Amino acid sequence: MSPNFPLLRKSSRNPMVAVLAAFGALALITGSFATSAGAVETSGGSVVTLGTGKAGQKLIRQGVRFKATAPATRKKLSKGKARIAASANDARVGDAATVSLRGGLVLKRGKRQLKLRGLVLKSGANQTTVKAKLGGKQTTIGKVNGSSLISADAGTVEMSGGKFSLAGKAINKTKQKLRLKKSPKGVIGKMDVEVQAAFEDPYLAECGLAADTKTAGTLPAATPPPSLSGAVSTNGNPVNWGVKLSLRGYIAGVGKIVGLDGAVVNELPFPGPPPTGFTWPDEAEYAANGPGAGDDQAVLNGSGSILFCNEPHGFRIVLSDPTVVIDGANSRLIADVDTNTTDLGTGISDWIPAQRIDFATLDTSAVAPAAGAGTLTWTEVPTRLTAAGAESLRLCEGNPGPCTYVEGAEFDPITVTVKTAG
């Protein structure tokens, strides 16, 4: 099995490890920078060291002290500096990241103070905007210049040593509220951020398998189905397929198989064999391309999901929304494949979200379609796993012996019936 790594990967240039070692009290605020199994809560947060930079030093010389509002915590440093740590309350990570922090900052001079609560960081690649409640309204109170490492796939955002400056109304408000002689323009501190956004395995309730890491899929996207000329659109053309008998038997013996969103697991009474197969509701298009049926085309779009849950052995596979393409030598089955697999060496379960791929090839060359009453049926069409299909299942990862789930492996034949008229 290929190695898996925790989502919160440490970059070699990131000084957060030293920061956290010096500031162990961060573990006392709700959450730490370590991801928990399942990552069901946002974790991590921000550490800002105030009193650095020319503007920060000027604030100290004017008698300004830096405090924190709970649950953010403060550590007093030398020469009037302070380190404020706030845990992340929520995070949304895409091309940019939005992080809400617990607690806030306080700038205090004598009995006068300016509280900045409800801190929200909006991070792009090169700059972070800091928002907070000022005068009862959420407004931009600062900016941080510095590169952020943002991963939408992993749900993480990291920044080291960003230069924090007050901005906009916060500059004048600070001067007025604290009765400063000089405006606090310029860098007043430095900020570090390391946050893991909340996520969980989407099939945790059904399969009981948490996700410690989330990895983006890298398989080639499915080839689009052909555009059918003069197509007839119909419904009531269910996709019936067993996927693979040995897989059904293996999963049924130690785990369970679940149908969701209209997909059905076809059971036989106990003590019969494993489930006989699966049915996905379907809408279809059919095109007759000549006097015979040999070159006819059909595209059947199935819906729903079949879950192969194997919690005892630490993995699950979900096949969703299969599309059966009848198109001569290009006949194939397309599907979304979503997996969660546990590395037996580390115990870390790695979730790869759904990838829509060409999952299996269909060999229609030796199958003559049979006409029925307004239908056309291709019976027992051989199917074979594609390279992408084999990789998507992840069943051969870490397998020291022979593995049958490889490119070209025979899967269950499929029978396809399509209505030829609406």
Kindly report, residue by residue over 335-377, the tens digit of the pLDDT. 999 999 999 888 889 999 999 999 999 999 989 899 889 999 9
Helix (H) or strand (E) holding 104: strand 104-109
pLDDT at residue 236, as a whole number: 87
Between CA 10 and CA 7 the distance in angstroms is: 9
| Domain boundaries along the sequence of the chain | 16-196, 204-419
Helix (H) or strand (E) holding 252: helix 245-254
Asked if 291 contacts 317 with a C-beta cutoff of 8 angstroms, the reply is: no
Asked if 102 contacts 132 with a C-beta cutoff of 8 angstroms, the reply is: no
Beta-bridge partner residues of 45? 87, 194
Residues 6+ apart with CB under 8 A from 318: 203, 305, 306, 307, 308, 336, 337, 338, 339, 354
**Across residues 323-330, what is the average pLDDT?**
95
Lowest average pLDDT, out of 75-89, 129-143, 310-324, goes to 129-143
Summarised one tens digit per residue, pLDDT across range 5-19 is 223 323 333 333 333
Look at 418 and 290; give whichever has higher pLDDT: 418
Asked if 369 contacts 376 with a C-beta cutoff of 8 angstroms, the reply is: yes
| Cβ neighbours around 383 below 10 Å, total | 26
Asked if 390 contacts 406 with a C-beta cutoff of 8 angstroms, the reply is: yes
Summarised one tens digit per residue, pLDDT across range 47-81 is 999 999 999 999 999 999 999 999 999 999 999 99
For residue 412, give the nearest of 275, 258, 271, 236 by alpha carbon: 275
pLDDT at residue 215, as a whole number: 87
Between CA 72 and CA 26 the distance in angstroms is: 9
3-state secondary structure at position 65:
strand
Between CA 102 and CA 31 the distance in angstroms is: 11
pLDDT at residue 4, as a whole number: 27
**Using 50, 70 and 90 to split pLDDT, how confident is the model at 233?**
very high
**Across residues 308-336, what is the average pLDDT?**
96
Q: What is the CA radius of gyration of the chain?
A: 29
Phi and psi (nearest 5°) for 14?
A: -85, 115
Enter the tokens of residue 298.
């059909």
**Across residues 160-167, what is the average pLDDT?**
96
**Using 50, 70 and 90 to split pLDDT, how confident is the model at 273?**
low
H-state helical runs in 134-214:
169-178, 204-207
Query: What sign does the dihedral 391-394-398-403 (CA atoms) show?
Result: negative
pLDDT at residue 159, as a whole number: 97
> What distances in angstroms separate CA 402 from CA 1, 287, 399, 406, one per listed residue?
14, 42, 7, 10
**Across residues 171-199, what is the average pLDDT?**
94
**Across residues 83-111, what is the average pLDDT?**
95
Give yes or no for residue 332 having a pLDDT over 60.
Answer: yes
**pTM for the model:** 0.69
Query: What sign does the dihedral 10-13-15-18 (CA atoms) show?
Result: positive
Asked if 337 contacts 295 with a C-beta cutoff of 8 angstroms, the reply is: no
> What distances in angstroms separate CA 28 from CA 21, 39, 66, 104, 118, one per listed residue?
13, 19, 20, 16, 19
What spatial distance separates the first Cα and last Cα of the chain, rounded to whole Å?
A: 49
